[in-house]
């Protein structure tokens, strides 16, 4: 589609996916490399230069720790043109605050879930957009049929004016009846012109809505929506909605996010206790480049404990997460109640509109008979032109009301 809003929604979804790829990068192996060269000296006789190349790989661990491996080699003239190389492994692992997958990988977890929510929201928009296209299409069909009804109505007024003029010419009616007939014809003709302009404007707006260019013509087939009877059982439909509705799935999973947020905020109240391990191997300085074993090793291990004396911000964050969870629980309960009521209301609306369709069809049949009788009685001189006009206008209103009900029923059915 060329619809601008649809394109914007697609771009927004793509940006959400890009955001996730950036977050995933922070939780995947991160490779880095650096090359440096330094030239220094105090006077022409005391100048030194050196070069160093290093490469590293770092990875965030599932339990919140970080591990990195770094290798480097270098040369320095300040040490008598000496070369050296080394390999080091560094590991840090929190044991209390910040420990555990929920806490450590929350950024990635939330980014992945946010993309799922964005996909569902886009699908909801796409479904709503499809219904909106159908609604706009059928509104154009409705306008075209109303225009055709107006044409038939004008033909009836033209047909009614001629007998009025004929009866006046033989003295069987007065001039007032002729003037009424002409006024009704002119009024109907003006309404037809307005309806034609309204349809052209509606077609232009539909073209713009679809994102089509100025030179592209849009028209719709004069086909009213076919009546499709709904045979679903109400409670079964409610159960299906509570299982499949995308916005309902988002609500439930966002409640899980709020519960996870409480656990993470509670973890933030713990002391900082971290384990660190380091091990390195080197060649030592040598005038020869390469061919030397990495036999100069060292290691270290340590624990660090940070005992908090004040945790006002962390305490506030924990309390805020609890309030957020309570709010999310209320929102889920409210959404569920509204969803159930909405599904049941839609069934009642469809049932009402189905009855209204039957009534409108019967009303049209009655108004057709009424218009024919009024036409015959007018030609016989028993009815005034006003009675004929009222009968024809009532038939026009009934026909327009029927297509309106058909469109409203179809849109409600698609929404269900």
Q: What is the rounded average pLDDT of the residues 200-206?
A: 92
Structure tokens at 296: 């100069």
- pLDDT score, position 140: 92
**Side-chain half-sphere exposure of 134, counting CA atoms within 13 A:** 19
Instruction: Evaluate whether 7 touches 214 at the Cβ level (below 8 Å).
Output: no
- 54: pLDDT confidence band, cut at 50, 70 and 90? very high
**pLDDT above 90: residue 179:** no
Structure tokens at 365: 């049949």
- 113: pLDDT confidence band, cut at 50, 70 and 90? very high
- pLDDT score, position 335: 96
**pLDDT above 70: residue 285:** no
Residue from 173, 116, 140 nearest 379 by CA = 173
Instruction: Summarize pLDDT for 252-262 with one digit per residue, the tens.
Output: 999 999 999 99
The DSSP-derived string for 9-61 is HHHHHHHHHHHHHHHHHHTS-EEEEEEEEEEEEEETTEEEEEEEEEEEEEEE-
Q: Across the strands, what pairs with 54?
A: 34, 72
Mean pLDDT, the chain, rounded, equals: 87
- pLDDT score, position 168: 76
**pLDDT above 60: residue 287:** no
Instruction: Summarize pLDDT for 64-104 with one digit per residue, the tens.
Output: 999 999 998 888 776 666 778 889 999 999 999 999 988 99
Note the helical H segments in 54-105: 101-104
In the chain, % of residues over pLDDT 70: 92
- 343: pLDDT confidence band, cut at 50, 70 and 90? very high
Give the distance from CA 245 to its chain's centroid: 14
Q: Which residue has the higher pLDDT, 110 or 388?
A: 110
Instruction: Summarize pLDDT for 36-47 with one digit per residue, the tens.
Output: 988 876 666 667
**pLDDT above 70: residue 127:** yes
Instruction: Summarize pLDDT for 366-399 with one digit per residue, the tens.
Output: 888 888 887 787 667 676 666 767 787 788 788 8
| Selection from 169-183, 258-272, 290-304 with the highest mean pLDDT | 258-272
**pLDDT above 70: residue 292:** no
């Amino acid at each position: 589609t060329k619809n601008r809003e649809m394109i914007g929604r697609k771009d927004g979804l793509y940006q959400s996916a890009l955001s996730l790829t950036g977050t995933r990068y922070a939780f995947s192996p991160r490779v880095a490399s650096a090359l440096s060269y330094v030239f220094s000296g105090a006077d022409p006789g005391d100048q030194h230069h050196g070069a160093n190349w290093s490469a590293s790989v770092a990875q965030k661990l599932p339990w919140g720790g970080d591990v990195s491996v770094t290798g480097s080699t270098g040369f320095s003239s300040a040490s008598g043109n000496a070369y050296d190389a080394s390999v080091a492994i560094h590991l840090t692992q929190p044991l209390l605050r910040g420990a555990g997958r929920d806490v450590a990988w929350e950024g990635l977890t939330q980014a992945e879930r946010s993309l799922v929510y964005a996909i569902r929201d886009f699908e909801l928009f796409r479904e709503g957009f499809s219904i909106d296209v159908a609604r706009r299409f059928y509104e154009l069909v409705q306008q075209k049929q109303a225009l055709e009804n107006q044409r038939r109505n004008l033909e009836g007024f033209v047909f009614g004016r001629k007998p009025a003029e004929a009866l006046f010419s033989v003295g069987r009616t007065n001039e007032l009846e002729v003037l009424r007939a002409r006024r009704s014809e002119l009024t109907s003709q003006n309404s037809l012109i307005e309806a034609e302009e309204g349809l052209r404007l509606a077609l232009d707006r539909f073209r713009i809505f679809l994102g089509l260019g100025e030179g592209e013509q849009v028209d719709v087939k004069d086909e009213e929506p076919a009546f499709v009877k709904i045979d679903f059982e109400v409670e079964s439909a409610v159960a299906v909605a509570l299982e499949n509705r995308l916005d309902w799935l988002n609500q439930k999973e966002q409640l899980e996010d709020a519960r996870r947020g409480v656990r993470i905020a509670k973890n933030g109240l713990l002391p900082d206790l971290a384990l660190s391990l380091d091990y390195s191997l080197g060649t030592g300085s040598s005038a020869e480049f390469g061919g030397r074993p990495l036999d100069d090793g060292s290691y270290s291990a340590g624990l660090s404990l940070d005992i908090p004396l004040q945790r006002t911000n962390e305490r506030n964050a924990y309390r805020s997460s609890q309030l957020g969870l309570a709010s999310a629980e209320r929102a889920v309960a409210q959404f569920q109640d509204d969803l159930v009521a909405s599904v049941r209301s839609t069934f009642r609306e469809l049932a009402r509109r189905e009855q209204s369709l039957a009534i409108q069809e019967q009303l049209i049949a009655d108004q057709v008979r009424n218009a024919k009788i009024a036409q015959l009685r007018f030609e016989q001189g028993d009815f005034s032109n006003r009675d004929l006009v009222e009968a024809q206008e009532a038939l026009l209103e009934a026909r327009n009301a029927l297509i309106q009900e058909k469109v409203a029923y179809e849109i409600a059915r698609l929404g269900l």
